[in-house]
Amino acid sequence: MKRGRGRPRSAPAADAPAAVGQRIELTLERLTHDGRGIGRWRGRTVFVEGGLPGEQVQARVLRARSKLIETRLETVQQPSPLRQPLRCMHAELCGGCSLQHMSHGQQLEIKQQALAQQLQHFAQLTPQQWAPTLEGPAYGYRQRTRVALRWDRARRQLDVGFRQRASSELVNVEQCPVLVPELEAVLKTLPVVLRSLQAVEALGHVELIGAEHPALVLRHLRPLSEADRQRLLAFTAEHGLGLWLQGEEAAQGLAGALEPAYRLADQQLTLGFAPGDFTQVNPQINQAMVNQALAWLAPGQGEAVLDLFCGVGNFALALARAGAEVTGIEGSVEMVDRATDNARKNGLDQVHFLAADLSKPLEVPPGSPRFTAALLDPPRDGAEQMVGDLAALAVERILYISCNPATLARDAGILAGKGYTLVRAGIMDMFPQTAHVEAMALFRRQ
């Protein structure tokens, strides 16, 4: 028998899965390692981005599976006494800083727990000693950022800002309190000058660089008119920035713009880099990290040290300044050239750099000494190949700098299986207000 059109539909079952977009209410019990609140709803585990333990919240469903539901906080009906006011007006939309609602101490606690849990889960390891966290300013620390630009044809408007959380859309920003004050001041007036350009529809992105010789790097998709160049030069001069333009070729400095650089004051080093090169964005933590690396690795005078993923020489030059004989290896030929130039400018001749694909087996240059110590600072996917190669070389001490606790833990397990002890480990708060975890670990061959 067919149902009549007017018959009301039955209510969903109490155990029906949540629908995307649905609002649900729940009480949060604890935090995940990346700072999301965890609670239960109709027998399912729910992750709530932006929630804190003990809070009664209303959240909107982003993804729903049979046993897990991912949501975003909509309303805090009963807040935790630990909840912090949001310092940035864009924090609820912007995908950059997801932990502003937590105290700095609570942020450090979950990052420490993340590292410990990953080491235990993937490698069944606990270090012999946990090192104190390397801390710096909670705000105003970031001396480099990339600002996204997108021309909206329908609105005839250039969006200037950062990517929204869990979205490809942009947040038009008017402030960013994690930037150093000099760059935040630039960000406040940057949209006005960009929207005034004749080539407004053909702009790619902007990179703002602080430290020595601050710079604005503009990626553009078609040549700029002389009028546009003059507007940009006037703007950068007003803010004390060098102007770099990047079209189809590498970025070029205008009007005598000096190459960006940063200092490691404790080692009396200045390191130049080109726009697009990787450098650490937090100068205080970078200095503390280099100091800690030197203390943990403790290279002897003339000791042969291998620096893998060496970049422009951040660790290699500091190790050489401490008296080690350093060989730095990096995948980018251009960055090897920059590292070599940095060594020359700083008067260091006991450090040498070469280019090699570090995803492939390590080939030690002919005539190299026996390396008794090594430092590696790989990208997020870790250094599975390299740690095995270092073990095969019987390197006595390995210092691993990580931006991903999961791949650090995986690689730590490999080293443990090849006779290495995890002597010491600790986190470095390179990115306050975010869930990113940076860590350092020291391994010693048994």
Active site residues: 403
Tell me how far apart the alpha carbons of residues 325 and 100 are, in angstroms, rounded to a whole number: 43
Q: Rounded to whole angstroms, what are the CA distances from 15 to 11, 38, 167, 272? A: 11, 19, 29, 60
Residue 167 burial class via C-beta count within 10 angstroms: exposed 0-12, middle 13-18, buried 19 and up: exposed
Rg (CA), the chain: 25
Inter-residue contact 412 to 121 (CB < 8 Å): no
Tell me how far apart the alpha carbons of residues 148 and 163 are, in angstroms, rounded to a whole number: 7
Residue 81 neighbours by CB under 8 Å, 6+ apart: none
Inter-residue contact 224 to 197 (CB < 8 Å): yes
The total of other beta-carbon atoms located within 10 Å of residue 58's CB is 15
Residue 204, CB-side half-sphere exposure with 13 Å CA sphere:
14
Q: Rounded to whole angstroms, what are the CA distances from 309 to 37, 58, 65, 336, 359? A: 35, 45, 39, 10, 10
- List strand residue ranges (DSSP E) for 33-133, in order: 37-41, 44-49, 56-64, 68-78, 129-130
